[in-house]
Structure 1
């Protein structure tokens, strides 16, 4: 029976907890499916009792680890009432760049490979944990940005989930599947920035609103 994790989803891990979660990620890269609470405690120099107190059990620890990894993917800050196209583009581009950086990291590759294996064998709930706290959580994180863009007339779409999936596809292309299948593809910081900018511009071309620029004739007549 799975116990409830002691670290709520809305809480920021402490520095000590972050070190534990980073230890989990490094062990996944090194040992894959052999991850145990004992190994994590040893690597993080803490007791198993502390791990159980903080995270509840192994699934709780894995959930917190996935959240910690996914938390690196964020949209930029913006002021909703005064959102303009330049700020929207910067926010989407920042989101795209951080997501590409995360999915191309050895830790994410190891985590996702492990999750896929567990989902196929039903060995654990890791696949569901990664899906809920990775892909779905990231989608919810970007939803307010997309909806703010629609409210400002900068984006035009009926369903934010469909719009997000389009953006997700433009950003990721075939990068993640190639990495998961063992491609030695490497992305430099400059390449990630260029890819993020290109995907953002493609998305804005597909979903850009039809609001006349401020100060234009159509604006002044209304």
Structure 2
């Protein structure tokens, strides 16, 4: 089936983002738009039609990861089930996903291109925290949890779930409990719920 004039092929956008993930991990900001287009198998025109700059690509990559991690917050379920799924998604991305190269690439980018680092944080981890905070505020309004400061609680939950996983991934150190992600996610959610259950 042919595409209508002006219709965007999402597969090409995904190929661009996948290529950019690899190249940013390998080269940091030294990766060029030409290299991204070649790796993705698209023309430069196609690349620029979708993403006008490396900053736009970085934002899109971070947003894609945030969407995947926060998907459980859009599901129906009791708070413990939702938070277990959220913690699992967060850990899976860091421990078993493509996060190693991405985090190392970001560490290389940050001092040289703080605008890109800031955009990545805001569109990715920052957006995930905002979504978790909004979800926690909703649970508070519904009386399912008692969360007087949803922003603080969102950071607290993320920290509990990840522990040192970010640091281990960044440094390329083995995760000692990498095969226990489901158990760790359940325990994090259970303890968090216990701390924020209404009196």
Q: TM-score category by the smaller chain?
A: 0.7 to 0.9
Give, in whole Å, the separation in 1 of the partners of 2:147 and 2:60.
33
Match of 2:189 among 186, 200, 215: 200
24, 32, 39: which is aligned to 1:36?
32
Kept after mapping to 2: 8 A contact 1:118/1:125:
no
Q: Does 1:111 align with 2:111?
A: no
State the partner residue of 2:41: 45
Q: Is the 8 Å Cα contact of residues 154 and 208 (structure 1) preserved in structure 2?
A: yes
Counterpart residue number, 1:130: 120
1:55 positional shift: 1.0
Question: 1-side partners of 2:39 and 2:157: how far apart?
Answer: 38
**Structure 1 match to 2:84:** 93
Unaligned runs of 5+ in 2: 1-7
CA distance in 1, matches of 2:25, 2:98: 6
How many pairs align? 191
- Judged with a 3 Å threshold, the aligned counterparts in structure 2 of structure 1 residues 105 and 26 are, in CA distance, closer, same or farther, namely farther
Residues 180-202 of structure 1, C-alpha deviations (whole Å, 9 max, x = no match): 122122665x5111111011011
- Alignment partner of 2:16 out of 14, 17, 20: 20
C-alpha separation between the residues in 2 aligned to 1:208 and 1:46? 51
Q: Are the equivalent residues in 1 in contact too, given 2:69–2:89 (CA < 8 A)?
A: yes
Tell me the distance in 2 between the aligned counterparts of 1:76 and 1:68.
15
Residue 145 (1) aligns with residue 141 (2): no
8 Å contact 1:51–1:57 — kept in the other structure?
no
CA distance in 2, matches of 1:122, 1:187: 34
